Amino acid sequence: MARISVERTHALGIEAARVKAQQVVEKLAAQYGLQPTWSGDKVQLKRSGVDGLLEIGERTVKVDVKLGMLMSPMSGMIQSEIERSLDKALV
């Protein structure tokens, strides 16, 4: 089982960060077949073999993902996509 943890800082404020994070969540959900479930400033991202959490803070956005055995070989590609999406969204 692989784990991915990505954290990015931002100066957008929590409301703008939430809007940007929603764009990232929608992209990742479509790309990897994830089911997002929002609860305040957190979103659970799930599908078979993937269990993730995106947390939006006043100055940070953090993504933690656990990948099952079948998805583990894709961890590098998935991490790169998360990093690229957050970097693009949080400017």
pLDDT digits (tens, 9 = 90+) for 13-39: 999 999 999 999 999 899 999 999 999
State the SS3 of 41-63: CEEEEEECCEEEEEEECCCEEEE
Count structural domains, the chain. Answer: 1
Q: 63 is written with which tokens?
A: 């993504």
Residue 46's domain spans which residues? 2-81
Q: What is the mean pLDDT of residues 59-87?
A: 95
Burial 53-72 (b: 16+ CB within 10 A, else e): ebebeeeebebebbbeeebe
CATH of the domain at 22: 3.30.310.50
34 domain residue, yes or no: yes
Q: What is the mean pLDDT of residues 40-52?
A: 95
Q: What is the pLDDT of residue 91?
A: 83
| pTM, to two decimals | 0.91
Calculate the average pLDDT of the chain.
94
In the chain, the percentage of residues whose pLDDT exceeds 70 is 100
